[in-house]
Structure 1
């Protein structure tokens, strides 16, 4: 193995966001403190000042306000040598909750999540056949209300998030004829859900929502830039780049499609290039295992059954799983080459425990072999913290992200 290159201006770690003590003394600095505590788990006031660049006076004022509002709490002091013990501060889990809803071709999932990412309630409804939009939206709203009703001690629900398959117009909250959703062209999901729930709804592409959830729940482990490879009914990706979620101009960044093809595919009759069929990993795996003659059950137990057979070492099933994983790994290598990240998260409903190790092994080999720059970086491939409910938990986390994450993007005004 080649020795690592010495640090350069290009390879130096990205500095943490620094505070603007004079130019942005309002919500940005408060969010910066919350973000620092969230990533570390607990921090003293001295540590907050060191990590954010805020003055001790500013940290004292902000933490006093956050304690008064109930967003953070103090733990017992810890000794730091001579002088007064440092008092750790942490987020209060029950200070706020969010509800996330995920619409999948075969399942509607709703979860309620506390401020520290713990799922406190969940609801699931299998979809046995394609359903019309109005019926699905009614069920999504009903499941979301049920999850919200189970929040402990009727805690405050800060908002609702919806994770949807692409393509979509995120700014308008409109779903744009996604694959496997017949009759869903230009459905105004955001506005219709908002009307049913009586609350604004944050709309995200499912893979982007999963990336946001990973960032929020992963804390310090996910503080660096990363790409999230989301595998479920379809395959897509979300990304955190330069410290913030990357959505693209319309919210559709991260489509995998032709990145997975081993060579350019022929156009169809309408002259539109076709994506690799492995970009629908669950249905492709089930179809190939059935074609191999195995007695795959029907319904929502089918894919878990296949994954269990793979874990048991069934050679026919493992051959199918490996074949699908190899094609998706080419797409993962393309993403790593495109974004030049050193962390790739793999998750979603297709990555159940029985096949997780196979996916991780195949993808790790690809992303550290195929890209041209593989000699100068080692990409770490890690399983998602979120499990098969990644998109739903991510949808809930998108509410926290929008509420508490510091950003200096256009539209924010500094307060003197």
Structure 2
């Protein structure tokens, strides 16, 4: 991920600490913030007033106190102060979303697209951004930037990426240079599975309970992302979470969406699009159960390795597959226990946002970059 050309909002470290405390613990009073952050009440009041004026936090409903006096007015994250966009390219279509500062999806647009030219992709994305902003009445004044989720690992200087074949025009070039030249907005570039991990981590049931998480994203292939101490972990070369390396492409069976399509084709079910899978599940439930049994066995290896090395609080099974499949895989992994390990195991969840995770996560990348607190 590269730094953008401009940052519309510059926050101090203390302001970031307030934002992240509220993200983690939910609505919090000024006195509670002062105690938790070790700041005077006056300093906390001043900082919170600045954040309220920026529209990044807001006062929630007052809570009555047990004793007489003014009611406690908790502060919460506000989505009004800033927003960002996320974009990614799927086989045959482009997806663009807008998310607000609270991480909520504001709007989404997809458009057919079959070009391998990244400049053409940028043109389509900018057109989609204009349509979305006009539709919901957003101005560029609070726009933090655009995150672009790209499949494939970084393979060389200038963050060149080994992207999939249907994006071969994106290979051997500096995507940073191309997109910064082609787009009129600040741009961040992130691996698609890493972006998905950020979106999954921002869900309340994860961010408010755990400081670390592993996310497995089953799309056309399989990828992963890592959150360590509430921050994206990318590794020495920017490729942390490339769990697809555990299941090389030459394998006949991989835990991926393409593998599921091939499995169904071999069983005589004509399908070539992941989006059509959901409509087949009721009629072919035994086939899907068989496939999930096999894939869960394969994922145990990755789960065991990730747990041993990282000791995460949460593991999320995410992807561009139907919710019933993600839930089925998560349940199979929950039922699996490492009987040789006496320590605490991570909680395993199925994604609640599924295929939207990549694009929402791409939109959260600018928000996270501007507001995340470095935990020292």
In the alignment, the residues of structure 1 paired with residue 256 and residue 249 of structure 2 have an alpha-carbon distance, to the nearest angstrom, of: 15
TM-score by length of 1: 0.78
Contact 2:118 2:178 in 1 (8 A): no
Match of 2:338 among 365, 369, 390: 369
TM-score by length of 2: 0.86
Match of residue 252 from structure 1: 239
1:130 shift after superposition? 6.7
1:41 shift after superposition? 2.9
* 1:345 corresponds to 2:316: yes
Q: Unaligned 5+ residue runs, structure 1? A: 1-25, 261-272, 410-416
Report SS of the residue matched to 1:257: helix
Report SS of the residue matched to 1:182: helix
Match of 2:304 among 333, 344, 351: 333
Match of residue 120 from structure 1: 106
In the alignment, the residues of structure 2 paired with residue 401 and residue 84 of structure 1 have an alpha-carbon distance, to the nearest angstrom, of: 34
1:258 shift after superposition? 4.2
Pairwise mapping of residues 104-183 of structure 1 onto structure 2 (< 5 A)?
Answer: 104-127=90-113, 131-154=116-139, 156-168=142-154, 172-178=158-164, 180-183=166-169
Contact 1:259 1:334 in 2 (8 A): no
Change (3 A) 1:390 1:280: same
Pairwise mapping of residues 201-216 of structure 1 onto structure 2 (< 5 A)?
Answer: 201-216=187-202
In the alignment, the residues of structure 2 paired with residue 208 and residue 142 of structure 1 have an alpha-carbon distance, to the nearest angstrom, of: 25
* 1:56 corresponds to 2:34: no
Match of 2:263 among 279, 288, 304: 288
Match of 1:40 among 21, 25, 28: 25
* 1:399 corresponds to 2:366: yes
Match of residue 6 from structure 2: none
In the alignment, the residues of structure 2 paired with residue 225 and residue 254 of structure 1 have an alpha-carbon distance, to the nearest angstrom, of: 13
Q: Which deviations, in whole Å up to 9, do the C-alpha atoms of 1:113-154 show, x marking residues without a partner?
A: 111122111111345x67343433433333334333334443
In the alignment, the residues of structure 1 paired with residue 331 and residue 361 of structure 2 have an alpha-carbon distance, to the nearest angstrom, of: 25
* 1:380 corresponds to 2:347: yes
Q: Unaligned 5+ residue runs, structure 2? A: 1-10
Match of residue 11 from structure 1: none
Match of residue 93 from structure 1: 79
Cα RMSD between the aligned structures? 2.7
1:81 shift after superposition? 2.3
In the alignment, the residues of structure 1 paired with residue 335 and residue 76 of structure 2 have an alpha-carbon distance, to the nearest angstrom, of: 39
1:98 shift after superposition? 0.5
In the alignment, the residues of structure 2 paired with residue 170 and residue 160 of structure 1 have an alpha-carbon distance, to the nearest angstrom, of: 23
In the alignment, the residues of structure 1 paired with residue 47 and residue 70 of structure 2 have an alpha-carbon distance, to the nearest angstrom, of: 20
Q: Which deviations, in whole Å up to 9, do the C-alpha atoms of 1:78-133 show, x marking residues without a partner?
A: 22222322111122212111100123345421100111122111111345x67343
In the alignment, the residues of structure 2 paired with residue 191 and residue 151 of structure 1 have an alpha-carbon distance, to the nearest angstrom, of: 30
Change (3 A) 1:331 1:89: same
Paired residues in the alignment total 363
Change (3 A) 1:398 1:130: same
Contact 1:162 1:203 in 2 (8 A): yes
Change (3 A) 1:153 1:249: same
Contact 1:123 1:143 in 2 (8 A): yes
